[in-house]
Structure 1
Amino acid sequence: MQVTSVGHAGFRIETAAGSILCDPWVNPAYFASWFPFPDNSTLDWDALGDCDYLYISHLHHDHYDPRHLAAHVNKDAVVLLPDYPVPDLRRALEDLGFHQFYETTDSVRHTVHGPKGDLDVMIIALRAPADGPIGDSGLVVSDGVTTVFNMNDSRPIDLDVLGAFGGIDVHLVQYSGAIWYPMVYDMPDRAKEAFGTQKRQRQMDRARQYIAHVDATWVVPSAGPPCFLDPELRHLNDDHGDPANIFPDEVVFLDQMRRNGHDGGLLMIPGSTARFTGTQLDSLTHPLSDEDVEAIFTTGKADYIAAYAERMAPVLAAEKAAWAPAAGPAMLEPLRALFEPIMARSNEICDGIGYPVELVLDGPGHTETVVLDFPKRIVREPIAGEKFRYGFGIPPELVRTVLRDDEPDWVNTIFLSTRFRAWRVGGYNEYLYTFFKCLTEDRIVYAEGWFGESHDDSATITVGDYQIQRRCPHMKADLAKVGVVEGKILTCNQHGWEWDLDTGRCLTTKGHELRCEKL
């Protein structure tokens, strides 16, 4: 089996039964904030796109690049489709001209009968509203000799299903940040540094836990970090020795792996190709010398990013020119038309948010504050002297653009761009960000059902001096595998949420109490 990196979470997997192109991403994403790192724009994309199968893990735009798919990928490729509860991914690919779909069943091993032979695959579909924009997934591929698990940036809850393949030889896994926290929050610099340092380490700890559970011979760090080329955002790159930067690169994580006893990590850049026969690595080749590859991540990283930014300056300028203008009419009525029908369908989510939320739209030629009053299910003007528990400061041109484009997911556009400010009193509110992901009827109905559904938490495990429910109250991860106890604090490393074991209170957000008892 041959595995070629095509950048970020993208790979082309070659087998005797056909080639699979996974998550090709080239064009800048999230209001041109994110670019692939290292640069993959000069690869032979027409050749890479001449594939037998296409796998798009989910609709985040660093995995789903519609312009690139339309221009460079064979429309007769068979799409390996995750088993999602809403049809958004299939519809998006059909709109681009893809017409052959192999519909998988979640976490079931399938044999795909193609003209070149049989291919064994499994797609582990994550279906919670918090997973990507309504879904994320990982792909397992076996040619009968070598088995690859492309986990990209999914976070599977149950890895026991991998037993259907008898063992994993190659594990492609995310380890770096893909979020806006804590950088955009209004908080003291010392607090921001502490939270950033904590997040940087926790996301790598989580990846190492997955690596330990999958127990593959070879591990390829992937699906991050992005590269920030806009001068306004360049400080977000991890190229200036900041221990609080949440975007460590592959070399940083490979060093963590080695220091923790795992020597099977492989560094791959766009164009790198690895050949495997079962657990054996037959070869690993790069498009550059080993010294030049290393320099991209170490001594020459800042210079590499500066040169990359210069090359991509026209691309960045063209992206910005396509945004709606900041100045224009008031946005209260368009936002009311968008949000109020969604609020009317989302009692669980509105009650979970529980407070009015402030949107400050302030930019060149336009200043306006709009209130999303979730308890009353209305969008309104602010009341004099009103205080808010949650708030966002968003440039008006970004809001006008998502309104113009009927964008169903502000998380996958505005928030991941990091081109905004946020403030809050208290912890993270999952319901609030879920609302902003679900701005269509199909999505909000599904999310409502998810939150309204009762889950079995009757299984109990013993951790130190406590008995606790086995499944995490957040996303039902197995705490026997991903729970870590320090003193009286339980951390679920699936998403980094914390609980006080004396009270069961969630320390990360309101609600989500843990059933626990001191022995």
Structure 2
Amino acid sequence: MQVTSVGHAGFRIDTTAGSILCDPWVNPAYFGSWFVFPDNSELDWDALGDCDYLYVSHLHKDHFDPENLRAHVNKDAVVLLPDFPVPDLKRELEKLGFHRFVETTDSTKHTLSGPKGDLDIMIIALRAPADGPIGDSGLVVSDGTTTVFNMNDARPIDLDMVAAEFGHVDVHMLQYSGAIWYPMVYDMPARAKEAFGSQKRQRQMDRCRQYIAQVGATWVIPSAGPPCFLDPALRDLNDDHDDPANIFPDQVVFLDQMRRNGHDGGLLMVPGTVADFTGSQLNSLTQPLPEDQVQAIFTTGKADYIEAYAQRMAPVLAAEKARWAPAAGEPLLEPLRNLFEPIMLQTDQICDGIGYPVELRLTSGDHNETVVLDFPKRTVREPIADEKFRYGFEIGTELVRTVVRDREPDWVNTIFLSTRFKAWRVGGYNEYLYTFFKCLTDERIAYADGWFAEAHDDSASIVLDGWEIQRRCPHLKADLSKFGVVEGDTLTCNLHGWQWNLTNGRCLTSKGHQLRTAKL
């Protein structure tokens, strides 16, 4: 089996039974904020796109690149479709001309029979509202000799079925770096932001190492990040200035952490790197550049590499910004009322979970406006004099006009991941609020509201460092025997970094989500 990195979470897996192209992202994402690191724009995308099978893990724009798929990927390729609750991914791929689909069943082995032979696959579909745009997934592939698990940035709760169906995993690709806007965009003191950033940087790498230990693969390929920020306004987000609070560490940083924790099976792959495997044997690892040049991209020459990259991509970024809607125009109150109120009226769980009016400041020079999303009353209105807010956002007017113009169903997958906004809050993270912003269609909001309303079994218990606690995390039902870490009276679930006070079971991260706990 041959595995070729095509950048970020993208790989091409070549076997005697056919080739699978996974998550081929090349064009800038999230309002031109994210670029692939290292640069993959010079790869032969026509050759890469001449594949037998296509796998797009989910609709995040650093995985689903419609421009690249339209221009370069074989439309007769068989699409391996995750078992998602809302069929948005299939619809988007059909719009691009793909017409052959294998609709998989979650966490079930399937055999792909083709003219070149058989492949066994499994797609683990994650379907909680927090998983991507209503869905994320990971792919297991076996050609009968070598088994590869491409987990990209998915966070499975249970992985026991992988070993049960495929036995030993030879190669494991997964995310280790940040892919979020927290804490950078939040209005908080600099020292607090630094502390939260340092904590998040380490926890996301700890989570990755926990997954590595669970899967037990011989070889590990850190992937799915970090993005590269080439806009001068965002350049400080790159981890190229020795900032221990930066949440975007690169592959070399994580590979070093793996080695310091006793795992020497990490592989550094950049766009164009080809690894050839026979079972757990690595036959060859071929880099597209001399080894010292590859290393320099991540170490001594990183800042210079990003600067040259930014200069090359300046026209691309300018073209991206030219697509944005003008900031000037009619007030946005009525368009936002027409967008949000019908969604609010369809949901009780989410609006009640948000629980407060939310301030939305739309700013761009002289074109400033404030709109209030009054979730308790299910209305969009103007602010009241001296009104105080528990949650708020400040977003450029041109970005909001763009998503309204484009009828974008997901502000998380556009505005928020761009980091081109500011946010503030009183108290913890509100999962319901960000879920609302990614569910701006009837189908999505109905599914998400039903998911929150569904009762989950929390009757099973575990013992962890002198505490008896429920086994399943109240957030997304992760197994706390695997992801739970106790420090004093605080429990942290490393799947998403949520925390609880063990003395009273109160969630320290968000409203609600009570934990059953008792001191032994």
How does the TM-score come out when normalised to structure 2? 1.00
Q: Hey, what does 1:380 align to over in structure 2? A: 381
Q: Please state whether the residue corresponding to 2:457 is helix, strand or coil.
A: coil
Q: CA deviation at 1:365?
A: 3.3
In 2, the alpha carbon distance for the partners of 1:178 and 1:456 equals 30
Contact 1:327 1:364 in 2 (8 A): no
Instruction: Give the alignment of 1:492-507 within 5 angstroms.
Output: 492-507=493-508
CA distances 1:291-328 after superposition (whole Å, capped 9, x unpaired): 00000000000000000000000000000011000111
CA distances 1:195-248 after superposition (whole Å, capped 9, x unpaired): 000000000000000000000000000000000000000000000010000000
Residue 156 (structure 1) aligned with residue 139 (structure 2)? no
In 2, the alpha carbon distance for the partners of 1:316 and 1:492 equals 38
Q: Hey, what does 1:98 align to over in structure 2? A: 98
Q: CA deviation at 1:364?
A: 2.5
Q: Please state whether the residue corresponding to 1:462 is helix, strand or coil.
A: strand
CA distances 1:104-149 after superposition (whole Å, capped 9, x unpaired): 0000011111121111000000000100000000000000000000
Runs of 4 or more, structure 1, over 2 Å off, are none
Q: Hey, what does 1:254 align to over in structure 2? A: 255
Q: Hey, what does 1:437 align to over in structure 2? A: 438
Number of residue-to-residue matches in the alignment: 519
**What amino acid does structure 2 have at the position aligned with 1:284?**
L
Q: Please state whether the residue corresponding to 2:485 is helix, strand or coil.
A: strand
Q: Hey, what does 2:147 align to over in structure 1? A: 147
Q: CA deviation at 1:464?
A: 1.6
Q: Please state whether the residue corresponding to 1:394 is helix, strand or coil.
A: strand
In 1, the alpha carbon distance for the partners of 2:183 and 2:203 equals 14
In 1, the alpha carbon distance for the partners of 2:167 and 2:321 equals 49
**What amino acid does structure 2 have at the position aligned with 1:257?**
M
CA distances 1:393-448 after superposition (whole Å, capped 9, x unpaired): 00000000000000000000000000000000000000000000000000000001
Q: Please state whether the residue corresponding to 2:282 is helix, strand or coil.
A: strand
Residue 25 (structure 1) aligned with residue 29 (structure 2)? no
CA distances 1:43-68 after superposition (whole Å, capped 9, x unpaired): 00000000000000000000000011
Q: Hey, what does 1:79 align to over in structure 2? A: 79
Q: Hey, what does 2:410 align to over in structure 1? A: 409
**What amino acid does structure 2 have at the position aligned with 1:350?**
C
Q: Hey, what does 2:128 align to over in structure 1? A: 128
**What amino acid does structure 2 have at the position aligned with 1:236?**
L
Q: CA deviation at 1:167?
A: 1.2
Q: Please state whether the residue corresponding to 1:316 is helix, strand or coil.
A: helix
Residue 236 (structure 1) aligned with residue 222 (structure 2)? no
Q: Please state whether the residue corresponding to 2:67 is helix, strand or coil.
A: helix
Contact 1:483 1:492 in 2 (8 A): yes
In 1, the alpha carbon distance for the partners of 2:254 and 2:285 equals 19
In 1, the alpha carbon distance for the partners of 2:240 and 2:2 equals 32
Q: Hey, what does 2:319 align to over in structure 1? A: 318
In 2, the alpha carbon distance for the partners of 1:165 and 1:13 equals 17
- Percent of residue pairs identical: 79
**What amino acid does structure 2 have at the position aligned with 1:377?**
R
Q: In structure 1, list runs of 5 or more residues that go unmatched.
A: none
Instruction: Give the alignment of 1:18-417 within 5 angstroms.
Output: 18-163=18-163, 164-417=165-418
Q: CA deviation at 1:518?
A: 1.0
In 1, the alpha carbon distance for the partners of 2:30 and 2:41 equals 17
Instruction: Give the alignment of 1:416-427 within 5 angstroms.
Output: 416-427=417-428
Q: Hey, what does 1:463 align to over in structure 2? A: 464
Contact 1:326 1:365 in 2 (8 A): no
Contact 1:172 1:221 in 2 (8 A): yes
In 2, the alpha carbon distance for the partners of 1:243 and 1:463 equals 30
In 1, the alpha carbon distance for the partners of 2:238 and 2:418 equals 14
In 2, the alpha carbon distance for the partners of 1:115 and 1:34 equals 39
In 1, the alpha carbon distance for the partners of 2:176 and 2:271 equals 17
Instruction: Name the Cα RMSD after superposition.
Output: 0.4
Q: Please state whether the residue corresponding to 1:421 is helix, strand or coil.
A: strand
How does the TM-score come out when normalised to structure 1? 1.00
Q: Please state whether the residue corresponding to 1:152 is helix, strand or coil.
A: coil
Q: CA deviation at 1:485?
A: 0.7
CA distances 1:482-513 after superposition (whole Å, capped 9, x unpaired): 11111111100000000111100000011000
